[in-house]
Amino acid sequence: MSFASSSPVASKLRKARSQATFIQDARHNSNSKDSTGHFFDRERPTSCHALRKHATPATAATLYDAERPDSVGTPAESFCRVLRQRFGSVTAAWRYALDKDNKGKVSFTDFCNVARDIGYCKNLNNIWKELDEDGSGLISLNELDPKAATTLDEFFDFLHVKFSNTLKAWSYFDVDQNNRVELEEFETQLQKLGYLGNAKYLFKLLKVPAKNFLSLRDLDPQAHTAQMRGDVGMFLQKIRPRYNYDIDEILPMLRSGKLGGLEKPGSPKSPAIQVGNQIMGTGNQFWAQEIAKKQRELQFEHKKAHEQASLSASTLDSFKKLLVARYGTMIAAWRQGLDLDGNGRLSFGELCQALREMGFAGNALATWNALDRDGDGFIQLGDLDPKLEEMLYGYKDLVKEKFGNTLLAWLNGLKSTPNGTISKAAFTAHCKEIGFSGNVNLLFESLKNDKTRHFMTLRDYDLPAMNAYLRGDMEMISESPAIKGGKFEERNSNAFQQRWARMQSKQEIAERKEAAEEEISKDKAAGSVASMKELLLHKYGTVTCAWRHGFDGNENGRVSFVLFCNAMRRIGYSGNIKRCFNELDRKKKGHLTLEDLAPEAHEMITEFQQLLLDTHGDYITAWEALDVNRNNTLEEHELVEACKRIGYKKNAKQLFRYLLEHPSKRTISLGDLNPGAMRAFYRGDMGSMCGKERRAEIENAAQKERQMQLGAHDLSSLKKLLIRKYNTVTAAWRYGLDVTGQGRLSFVDFSKGCREVGFAGNVKRVFKQLDDDDSGLITFNELDPKWFKSLQNFSELLLAKYKTYESAWREIDADKSNFIDCNEFVEVCKELGYAGGPKAAAALFQQLLHPNQKYMTMADLQIGGTLIQAMTGFHMAREDDDLLSRDQVAKKAVQKLEQAKQHEKSMQMGPQDLNSLKKTLVRRFKTITAAWRYGLDVTTQGKISFVDFAKACRENSFTGDIRKCFSELDYDGSGIITFNEIDPKWFKNLQSFTELLLGKYESYENAWKAIDVHKNRFIDCKEFVEVCQQVGYEGGPQAAEALFEQLLQSGQKNLYMTDLQCGGTIVHAVTGFNVTRQDADEVPSGADHKAELDLQKTDIQLLEELIEEGS
């Protein structure tokens, strides 16, 4: 069948045929020329091989099955079978692949493009000739699936007859207004309409294969577009093409060049609406007329309602009813609508303004004359409702008589709640107390400004009282009128300034008295150095914070006696301040430093600052190195990492707490690290804080002679001094006398310990009193036999059960926190059978503790063995190796060394096969999914080629055969690797989760809006587990937590929207289904547009090859 020469379709077909002939000739010449050329040129892959190379694994498997020689059926049936396997049904393939523009027909070029996109490599000319039986150059759904085409045409004709357009029909189907129609709901509504066709079959034709529900876009894309622009009548709808395409009806229009009946949807031209033989106008005109009609109706209704409201208040009685209806009570109307300035009266101008604002349509002058009966030119509340005014002022008179004013009545009589409100029950009790005999319920409801509330505030109770309260006028002097008349002295004393000054003096005296009483009540335990430190910790949180805010206000690092006295008075210290100062100033410097108040904190901070100066030279440079993210603050984990970098050995978390300005804060700044450095930074002096000042201070302090503080004189007072300083006698022995930890003391060591604690007596005499056996050495049993015996009993019981201290600590420290508290120690003593009960065990726990600690470590537990060994000479087994022989110890050391070498060797040696490569990736990226995202598929395409795989292997130090490893993964021989080939198990889990998530929320954007309830742009593991439970993910919480770990980025603890979308990318690369990420179509970026152009060029080349092979 031939077309007219002027037909655009015929010209396109002639052009395509000429191009195919030209390409065929060029290819023939090229093949004949290159037949003797280079080997690689002769072995150039064909178009089918190129398509196989770019096809996904799932598509390649489908194509392979369709291209087998034993495939049954005609080429068209084979092609339809591929479409069903690829899209679920031929109708879905037609709607979402072949006829995306909803034209109702497909040309040969579009048909070839779609076949190429899905990777179909058979002879397309034969398939086209079989499908295009009439030779029209176009095919429709009727030629692929006649039953589906007929069913769809009949259904849409049925909807047009019933509803005139599909948008109205959708409103009928979507009963629950959730923008989706389930199968049951669809069948029910069709049955009500009297539809006689197969509803289930129709539903399957209309819906997307991956979904189990129907949306408006699935039903009719034009209706969805009309809904988005507000075109309820679908006036701009184009002519819907029919799926049952009859070429005999179209050919006459093609020959005559009249294509108006087949114009494409979405063209700028709007279709004309015709009634009979007369054209009434275009769709745009009818849409504009419909919108104008609705606007006129809304304006008419608004005007009518306004007129009705205006006519409702035109007389005095109707005016009062309007006030009560709008404000609830007449008092509320008086306060909120009439007496806005709160002076208790209205002028004529104020009344007219209030009437206009309330929409009063009557005679304002007549209303004024009706209310101003006494003719004084003002209106009071009594003119509106005399009984209500009498009740209100009767109550106020009772209040003023008992409390003096309404503000004191509110504060003292009503006793409002902490949030400043009064309930109805409390107000009723108050009225009963003052003897009010009126209607309490009416008074309470009248005083409330908001009738919907069930409580009353001070503003409701009395507005002048609230104003006085805000300005601190408890006697309401500013709200009471001045007293006129009387003598000169009376007028002078009743002046506002005099009354205000007297009131402020009374308040100041009362506040001072209250503050003094409060200070006295707080002054209970602050009478010694220890109680003073406890008070500082209770008030400031940490001792360093107390030093900053309580003592060293000028930030010079020291506090004189005068400043110390002021600080003690501020915190309410009731003891002897001078004695406390002398106890802290052990070196007699005349001032105190942080070292005197908190030696441990001073040591930790000083060591950290010195390391910073040694490493970076000055504090400002050190701060720039510490503040990596440049937010001028350091969090705890950042300081811990910085301490590791500079080699700080002490507790970094405790250092962070010491450096905090206040315990409530969570970050530290440069000022917390060194205030002088902060000042230097703000004034631009970058070189002034170089550490010289600190080093000079240390050198001067080292040169000063240490003076001994007067202390104990005999053995008894020495023990008391030791216990007062170290809390227990065992701690005094460990940290004050036996500092080397040998378990015994010589006379020299004993003398040093006595001088350190400030012993002023005869050291030699005390040493002889302790050295009972005249051995020249003192052990702990000579200092305190009672506690030595207790420690010996405990150690014997412990070693009898656990053999060594190391094995005992493993059993005791069950939570592996490296410390135990008092309760845990008491339980251990109970299990061992330690005599004395819980009290004796708790006392032993205190003996073993460090003076400034609350928890016991393994070193504290071993002190008993040290003391017993020094006394008896018997070796106590501390570690498990102590029970072994020398040969066994040496053999164990050799084994550990060999294991360390093997581990180091395995860490340095790269992977050699597929299993070791996977282990290396998991060890580096934590999970196999993270390894795929950040180690293999770095371009986020969902698939990797051999080149990308080789790069990833080299980056992970792979030393084996890369090609062999790639072949093991590429089991389908497609030339690319997807995630399902790396790990099928986790791909199945990701696919299941993605289908469940999109089945519930349709898109990732909707899903994220529902999941991220806190709007913080991320979700934690607990929230993700709840999401998995909501969508029905199988496996329970453990499986959900494992999936959460798979989706996480390396080094992150929370899940972001991009992590959630990675599952869709992986599934799309394997299955080929486009996963919806947003509600609306995404706008392509510049990079996406460039990639699309490159893809189009490749498609053109493949099309030329297909045309050549087909010819």
Mean local confidence (pLDDT), 3-15: 39
Cα R_g (the chain), whole angstroms: 46
Residue 306: band (very low, low, confident or very high) from pLDDT cuts 50, 70, 90? low
* Mean pLDDT of the region 170-189: 84
Instruction: Encode pLDDT of 510-544 as tens digits.
Output: 888 888 877 766 655 456 778 788 888 888 888 88
Q: What is the pLDDT averaged over residues 417-434? A: 85
How large a percentage of the chain has pLDDT more than 90? 0
Residue 794 near residue 864 (C-beta atoms within 8 A): yes
Q: How confident is the model at residue 1098 (pLDDT cuts 50, 70, 90)?
A: low
Residue range 1077-1093: average pLDDT? 45
pTM summary value? 0.28
Q: Which helix (H) or strand (E) holds 1020?
A: none
d(CA 1040, CA 993): 10
| Cα 119 from Cα 115, distance rounded (Å) | 6
Distance CA 835, CA 832 (A): 9
910 pLDDT higher than 80: no
Q: Helix 1086-1110 and helix 124-131: axis angle, to 10°?
A: 80
Single out the residue of 386, 380, 326, 403 nearest to residue 357, CA to CA: 326
Q: What is the mean pLDDT of residues 274-298?
A: 64
Q: Which long-range contacts (CB under 8 A, 24 or more apart) does 1074-1080 make?
A: 1075/994, 1075/998, 1075/1004, 1076/998, 1076/1002, 1076/1003, 1076/1004, 1077/1003, 1077/1004, 1077/1005, 1078/1003, 1078/1004, 1078/1005, 1079/1002, 1079/1003, 1079/1005, 1079/1006
881 — pLDDT class (breaks 50, 70, 90): low
pLDDT of residue 1094: 57
Which of 233-237, 826-830, 860-864 tops mean pLDDT? 826-830
Q: pLDDT band at 26, cuts 50/70/90?
A: very low
Q: What are phi and psi of 273, to 5 degrees?
A: -100, 125
SS3 at position 771: coil
Q: Are 354 and 338 in contact (CB under 8 A)?
A: yes
**Residue 1074 or residue 378, greater confidence:** 378
Q: 1101 pLDDT band (50/70/90 cuts)? A: low
Q: What is the mean pLDDT of residues 329-356?
A: 79
Within 13 Å, how many C-alpha atoms sit on residue 890's CB side? 3
pLDDT over 70 (residue 697): no
pLDDT at 482 over 50: yes
pLDDT tens profile 579-630: 888 888 888 888 888 888 888 888 888 888 888 888 887 787 888 888 888 7
Residue carrying structure tokens 């769809």: 152
pLDDT band at 52 (very low <50, low <70, confident <90, very high): very low
Contact (CB, 8 A) for 522 and 528: no
3-state secondary structure of 483: coil
When pLDDT is averaged across residues 186-215 and rounded to a whole number, the result is 83
> Alpha-carbon distance 193 to 172, whole Å?
10
User: Per mean pLDDT, which range of 256-270, 338-352, 567-581, 895-909 is the poorest?
Assistant: 256-270
Q: Is the pLDDT of residue 14 over 50?
A: no
Distance CA 164, CA 158 (A): 9
Whether residue 753 contacts residue 739, with contact meaning beta carbons closer than 8 Å, is answered with yes
Confidence band (pLDDT; 50, 70, 90) for 417?
A: confident
Q: Residue 1102 has what pLDDT?
A: 52
Q: How far apart are CA 407 and CA 467, in angstroms?
A: 10
Range with top average pLDDT, 205-219, 268-282, 421-435, 661-675: 421-435
**Half-sphere exposure of residue 202, counting CA atoms within 13 Å on the CB side?**
21
- 664 vs 656: which has the higher pLDDT: 656
Residue range 78-97: average pLDDT?
81
pLDDT score for 43: 44
Task: Measure CA 682 to chain center.
Answer: 34
- Of 183-197, 711-725, 952-966, the poorest mean pLDDT is in 711-725
pLDDT tops 80 at residue 72: no
Which candidate, 477, 342, 462, 344, places its Cα nearest to that of 411? 462
Q: Bigger pLDDT: 72 or 832?
A: 832
Residue 36 pLDDT > 60, yes or no? Answer: no
Of the listed ranges 807-811, 899-903, 905-909, the least confidently predicted one is 905-909
Over 70: is that where the pLDDT of 485 sits?
no
Check pLDDT > 50 for residue 10: no
Flag whether pLDDT at 903 surpasses 70: no
Query: How confident is the model at residue 877, as a pLDDT?
Result: 64
Mean pLDDT score, 302-323 = 65
The pLDDT of residue 565 is above 80: yes
- Residue 1004 is predicted with a pLDDT of 86
DSSP string, 915-970: HHHHHHHHHHHSSHHHHIIIII-TT-SSEEEHHHHHHHHHHTT--S-HHHHHHHH-
Least trusted range by pLDDT, from 176-180, 372-376, 403-407: 372-376
| pLDDT (mean) for 1034-1040 | 86
Backbone angle region of 651, left / alpha / beta, with phi > 0 → left and psi within -120 to 50 → alpha: beta
pLDDT for the residue 1090: 47
Q: Where are the alpha helices (DSSP H) in 448-495?
A: 458-461, 463-470, 488-493
Confidence of residue 693 (pLDDT cuts 50, 70, 90): low
The whole-number pLDDT of residue 578 equals 85
- If you average pLDDT over residues 743-767, what whole number do you get? 83
Q: Is 350 helix (H, G, I), strand (E, B) or coil?
A: helix
pLDDT mean over 314-329: 75
Q: Which helix or strand (DSSP H or E) is residue 351 part of?
A: helix 348-358
pLDDT, tens only, 968-980: 888 788 888 888 8
Burial class of residue 124, CB neighbours in 10 A (0-12, 13-18, 19+)? buried
Q: How far apart are CA 11 and CA 15, in angstroms?
A: 6
What integer best gives the mean pLDDT of the chain? 75
The predicted structure's pLDDT at residue 528: 75
CA angle 246, 249, 254 (to 5 degrees): 110
789 φ, ψ to 5°?
Answer: -65, -40
